[in-house]
Structure 1
Amino acid sequence: MRTKRTLLNMAYALGSSLLLLLLGLVTRRLLVDNFGPQITTASQVVSQLFNFFSIAEFGVGSVISYRLYEQIAAKNEEKISKYMSMYKWAYRVVGLVIAGLALIGAAALRWIMPDVPAATAYTVYGLNVVSTLCSYFLITRRLMYTCTQQGYRCTQIDFCCNVLTSLAKIAVSLWFPNYVLYFSVTIFFNVTANLLIARRFRKDFPYVHDVKVTVNDFKDLGIFHDLRYFLVHRLSNTIYGSSDTIVTSRLGGSTQTTFLGNYNTISTSATDLGNKVMDSFAAAIGSIVYDKSAAANDHDKQVFWGMDLFSYLFASFVATAYFCLFQPFMASWMGEKWLLPLGFVLVFCLNEYVGWNHRMLGSYRAVLGHFEDDQWFMVASATVNLALSFILFPLFDITGALIATVVAHCIMWAGRIRVVFRQYMRGGLGHYLGVQALHLVTLAVCMGGSYALCARMPGGWLGLVPRILVVLVVPNALNLAVYGWGKDAAYLRQYAGKVAKKLLKK
């Protein structure tokens, strides 16, 4: 059942995300061309500000979800209902807190976006307030789908609504170029998607019902204890994810922020695609961990090392693809005037590699709890990110802010290593560090060799075809030569064989 649901999640995710990626590229181009850098910058910055305000969530979703995995494995319907009710009420409180933060944050808009007209900034900001609050009051039912590996059911609904959103945005950009209407479209379809999921929830989980919860329920479960530590994680992750855009807007202005946003549009769409693939495994990891009462046994360790190798293979492919394809694609899509330096692309690739390479490790870390174990790593990550961004931006522009992000990301990674190898994979830290050192060497060969071949290819849209072929073949072939015959790869082949048999039977 785990394998089947993982496949379903992955299939729906890949199919929907590919089309949405293409539509996202079209809407971004139209946004920049038809509304200009100032409105584009206002959209990016306000989005990141609300990402920052999301620290008010305190990580309640993550804290309750790792407890929910345990009760789903035990099939305890009473506690499942209680946790879901607690989750709902917690998010209502969070929504009210975010509304308060939004009122306070409005005062900072003119400082963050000095070259964007006040009317534009506050209008886009107000629309985001409405969109964000609607999400917090309607989104809670999605947690049950994620924890039971049925996220594909939400993906079906989201896909339809997101396609309609993109088509409506394209229509507005071309025929009714009004930015208020443009951003209102997103609110309408987001609310519609959440209402449809709420209706389906009653059918899919009839045993989950609202129960009365009190503050004492949260105390008795120790959730306040976990939240106190997880707040540090939440704050650090938010600073990590939002600082580049905000620092660039403040120090570089709307034009440089639009430059960065164009690259982020591609990476965000690609990241969403990759997340859907990786998230398909996340719930299965939660089930594996909580099906056991102690640390990992031999089979679980084999699963861990196999998944870790999969993370590296995925990460090296993504980093190589960005390094070889980002600039020629950007030149064809937006025009050469929107290109950032190759140094920026290299640092960007390193950051993507760090993130994807420890993605499965991060999934293990998320379901293990013990947020106090790496809280100071998270504090250091956030502090270094902000401080280095303001120091390096005047020296290296956007590339400097991104260098700070890479350093902060590595600190975050170190904290996750600490938790997983203390709480679950005891005794494997030395092996993990040795494997990561080898990964860095093979990554350099993959990126350098692929780029050298792609540099010989012609430009334009047609030139992307041979470049894509190089990216598909070279890094995967090199990784196969290095890792293809080890025991970790043997597990992946075995797992892939089981998947293939299930598909053939259908």
Structure 2
Amino acid sequence: MTILLKFITQTVFIRTLGKDFLGLNGLFTNIISVLSFAELGIGTAIVFSLYEPLANGNEKKVAALMYLFKRAYTFIGITVAVVGMALLPFLHFLIKDYDQLNNVAYYFILCLSNSVVSYFFSYKRSLLIADQHEYISALNIFGFMVIQVIVQIIMLIFFHAYSLYLWTAVICTFVSNLFISKKVNDIYPYLKKFGHVKIENNLKKVIKNNVIGMIGSKIGSIVVRSTDNLLISMFLGIAIVGLYSNYLLIVTSISTILIKLVSSVTATIGNLATEHDAQKSYEVFTKHFMINLFVTTIASACLLVSLTPFIGFWAGKGYALGFNIVIAIVLNFFIDQIRQTSITFISAYGLFVPNGKKSVIEAFMNLALSVIFMKMLHLGIVGTLTGTICTNIFLNSWWEPLLVLNRGVRLKNIFLIFYVKLYLKNTAFLLFAVSLFAWLIFELDRYLNMSGILAAVVNSVIMIIMLVLLILTTYRHNDSLRYVKRILKSLI
């Protein structure tokens, strides 16, 4: 529902403000994502530390961790504000056509304000997540999202004002966090009772080490996920960012759903880790990976055959990008999404320090390759995405499962079996199948002469049917598929 609301807002945004403002909005979102580096992974590290005291009912320890969280996030919010304001004189370097736009600094300050206010009170959402009550936070976010979208649409239609659009976001973010803060205080009254209890030095040291490890992970995550629009804006212009933003909205929306699906069990895996049953953990890891691979393959295949006709119908043919760019976007989505199994287990097992070291290499490798492919080889948007794809294939695809199996699950002789027989073999097979099915669907499109929303829907339905039949027949004896079947039968 949140994604549907975002599509409605983006549609009105396109119709009222156009490509330049759409590109500016996408660029600001990326800059704010880069500034989120100031968070340093403190949230993830403290959530990991909350599992044990919540499981044991240690209220004083939970309250102490939340007090530390509060102080840390207050400092982070101030830091983001200061660093963001310091970026103002350099905005013209990041925007190729800066001189053709008005009030860029003012708009950026409003975007920055929305990010800064999000750090105050929002830390309490982490307690709900760690205690497996994330649905409370999700409903709160959704409720205020509805209000925000309605008001923003009114501002766009009647006033055509980007500034009022941004002001609405700032106010809704702040009020949403106030409400969730009160809700958490009601659910966990001991937070006030032990409001200023400090954590022990040994626990503080563990959190500090985890945060240091998360710094590397944050660098890698930000460079891989948040610099594409920056590079496109610097070298190709803000209007191209606007075109790419529409594709990014669709892909990110689907990615958000899938990541919620695969990461929702993080706290459960964290509890499983405390049992120290290596064989059971490995079985859960392989099931998680295969289910993630099946779902990701179907989602990627639908995007491949439906993105172009859907963009033409939704935004207009003038907002469409070349099919080579679509292939790069979808392949990047696919590879990044199948990583989420390893990322979920890394978070659940608290493997922040060893993963952080890899992420520093990942950041430099991704940035260097993206610039080389984009600027030196003149591949444009495809070059930026190719840099990310190569980084994921040649580094992340093997490092992260190796880390989970060796340092988390602690089965040191199983990695090659998993990587070759399960990861590479199944990924290559399903990618080949998607390529073949996509070719058949495009040939059918030419014969039927379909376009727009009809082509997008028909292409997706045909692709889903073919892939589901393929998976059901090829993997009928697979434990992961049997597991899914049992869940579906119990639900039905």
TM-score range (shorter-chain normalised) is: over 0.9
Change (3 A) 1:370 1:268: closer
TM-score, with length taken from structure 2: 0.92
Match of 1:329 in 2: 310
Preserved CA contact (<8 Å) 2:21 2:242: no
2:74 aligned with 1:73, yes or no? no
Instruction: Give the Cα separation in 1 of the matches to 2:404 and 2:21.
Output: 43
* Cα shift at 1:398: 0.5
2:482 aligned with 1:490, yes or no? yes
Report matched runs for 1:200-211 at 5 Å: 200-209=183-192, 210-211=194-195
Match of 2:229 in 1: 245
* Cα shift at 1:214: 5.7
Preserved CA contact (<8 Å) 2:45 2:210: yes
Q: 2:417 is matched with which residue: 427, 431, 435? A: 431
Instruction: Give the Cα separation in 1 of the matches to 2:57 and 2:103.
Output: 51
2:367 aligned with 1:386, yes or no? yes
Match of 1:155 in 2: 138
Match of 1:15 in 2: none
Report matched runs for 1:245-324 at 5 Å: 245-290=229-274, 292=275, 294=276, 296-324=277-305
SS class of match (1:484)? coil
Preserved CA contact (<8 Å) 1:39 1:120: no
Structure 1 stretch 304-313 or stretch 472-481: which is displaced more? 472-481
Match of 1:100 in 2: 82
* Cα shift at 1:152: 0.8
Q: Deviations over 1:10-33 (max 9, x none)?
A: xxxxxxxxx332222232232233
2:353 aligned with 1:372, yes or no? yes
* Cα shift at 1:297: 3.6
Match of 1:142 in 2: 125
* Cα shift at 1:372: 2.7
2:151 aligned with 1:168, yes or no? yes
User: Structure 1 counterpart of 2:479, which letter?
Assistant: K
Change (3 A) 1:156 1:374: closer
SS class of match (2:196)? coil
Instruction: Give the Cα separation in 1 of the matches to 2:261 and 2:477.
Output: 24
Instruction: Give the Cα separation in 1 of the matches to 2:213 and 2:201.
Output: 19
Instruction: Give the Cα separation in 2 of the matches to 1:270 and 1:120.
Output: 33
SS class of match (2:195)? coil
Instruction: Give the Cα separation in 2 of the matches to 1:349 and 1:442.
Output: 17
Match of 1:4 in 2: none
Match of 1:13 in 2: none
Instruction: Give the Cα separation in 2 of the matches to 1:362 and 1:120.
Output: 40
Preserved CA contact (<8 Å) 1:69 1:287: yes
Change (3 A) 1:75 1:428: farther
* Cα shift at 1:211: 3.2
Structure 1 stretch 370-379 or stretch 385-394: which is displaced more? 370-379
Give the unaligned 5+ runs of structure 2: none
Match of 2:469 in 1: 477
Instruction: Give the Cα separation in 2 of the matches to 1:27 and 1:450.
Output: 33
Preserved CA contact (<8 Å) 1:81 1:211: yes
* Cα shift at 1:397: 0.7
User: Structure 2 counterpart of 1:454, which letter?
Assistant: I
Instruction: Give the Cα separation in 1 of the matches to 2:392 and 2:171.
Output: 35
Instruction: Give the Cα separation in 2 of the matches to 1:489 and 1:299.
Output: 17
Change (3 A) 1:219 1:444: closer
TM-score, with length taken from structure 1: 0.90
Structure 1 stretch 393-402 or stretch 33-42: which is displaced more? 33-42
Match of 1:34 in 2: 16
Instruction: Give the Cα separation in 2 of the matches to 1:24 and 1:386.
Output: 29
* Cα shift at 1:244: 0.5
Instruction: Give the Cα separation in 1 of the matches to 2:388 and 2:168.
Output: 32
Preserved CA contact (<8 Å) 1:42 1:116: no
* Cα shift at 1:495: 4.3
Give the unaligned 5+ runs of structure 1: 1-18
Preserved CA contact (<8 Å) 1:91 1:137: yes
User: Structure 2 counterpart of 1:453, which letter?
Assistant: L
User: Structure 2 counterpart of 1:340, which letter?
Assistant: L
SS class of match (1:141)? helix
* Cα shift at 1:75: 2.4
Preserved CA contact (<8 Å) 1:259 1:339: yes
* Cα shift at 1:127: 0.3
* Cα shift at 1:467: 1.5
Structure 1 stretch 201-210 or stretch 373-382: which is displaced more? 201-210
Preserved CA contact (<8 Å) 1:377 1:414: no
Q: CA RMSD for the aligned pairs?
A: 2.0
